[in-house]
Amino acid sequence: MRRILAILLENEPGSLSRIVGLFSQRAFNIETLTVAPTEDASLSRITIATKGDDKVLEQIVKQVNKLIDVIKITDITDRKHIERELLLVKVVAMSDKSRTEVKRITDIFRGSIVDIGKQVYTVQLTGDSSKLNAFINTLKNETEIVESVRSGCVGIARGEKALRV
């Protein structure tokens, strides 16, 4: 089952590699991983989307927590939470028809066209991972995808719950 883990850790050299190393060393799965410093530059926030049964998940959470750099880890999957991912996708937009279709689909998904080339449009879309998947599948039916990049998901709990020091 897919789980989303939020991790708060010291923003030190090597702390990301310890997380990544742990996942490969213990044969845990990483679907996506995003990392950036927080508003407090001494801290980094990681969101990992992973898969595994309850026993594996328990080990992932405990093993990550055991790393000296890690301050907190929480599994936000079962709580009310907001999950977002950013997609940038470059598609062929040569004919009037394909330009119109790309524009129309982008509007429906509430994305935006952020760059236009002679033969391509670049579209930006945010949403949860399944929305991004749906958008890509729809686009594929209308035109050719030249290139795409996804940020991997970031997540945060709804309401007063907060992951902080």
Partner 1 sequence: MTTQLFTGAEMVVKSLSALNVKYIFGYPGGSVLDIYDAIFQQDEIEHILVRHEQAATHMADGYTRATGEVGVVLATSGPGATNCVTGIATAYMDSIPMVVLAGQVASSLIGNDAFQETDIVGCTRPIVKHSFNCRSLEDIPVAISKAFYIANSGRPGPVVVELPKDILIPQNKGEFEIDTNVKMRSYNPTVKGHPKQIKKAVKTIANAKKLVIYSGGGIVLSDSSELLTTLVETLKAPITNTLMGLGGISGTHENFIGMLGMHGTLEANKAMANADVILALGARFDDRVTNNVEKFCPNATIIHVDIDPTSISKTINAHIPVVGQVDVIMQQFLDELATINFIPDEEVLTTWWQQINLWRSVKSLSYEKSGELIKPQNVIEAMYEITKGEAYVASDVGQHQMFAAQYYPFAKPRQWINSGGAGTMGFGLPAAMGAKLAFPDKHVICVTGDGSIQMNIQELSTCLQYSLPVVIVMLNNRSLGMVRQWQDMVYGGRHSSSYMESLPDFCKLAESYGHVGIKIDHLSELNDKLEQAFSIKNRLVFVDVHVDEKEHVYPMQIRTGAVDEMWIKKGVKA
Query: Where does this chain bind partner 1 (CB under 8 A)?
Result: 9-10, 13-14, 17-18, 21-22, 25, 55, 58-59, 62-63, 65-66, 68-71, 165
* Nearer of residues 42 and 119 to partner 1, judged by Cβ: 42
45-67 core/surface letters (b: 16 or more CB in 10 A; e: else)? bbbbbbebeeebbeebbebbeeb
* Nearer of residues 63 and 151 to partner 1, judged by Cβ: 63
* Nearer of residues 56 and 92 to partner 1, judged by Cβ: 56
Distances (CA, A) of 155 to 16, 60, 94, 129, 161: 18, 18, 37, 11, 13
State the minimum distance, in angstroms, from the CB of residue 3 to partner 1.
17
State the minimum distance, in angstroms, from the CB of residue 137 to partner 1.
39
Q: How many helices (H) and strands (E) does the chain have?
A: 4, 9
State the minimum distance, in angstroms, from the CB of residue 25 to partner 1.
5
Cα Rg of the chain, angstroms: 19
CA separation for the pair 5, 34 (Å, rounded): 11
Q: How many residues are present in the chain? A: 165
* Nearer of residues 38 and 133 to partner 1, judged by Cβ: 38
State the minimum distance, in angstroms, from the CB of residue 98 to partner 1.
46
* Nearer of residues 158 and 164 to partner 1, judged by Cβ: 164
DSSP-based three-state secondary structure for 134: helix
Sign of CA dihedral 55, 58, 64, 67: negative
State the minimum distance, in angstroms, from the CB of residue 45 to partner 1.
14
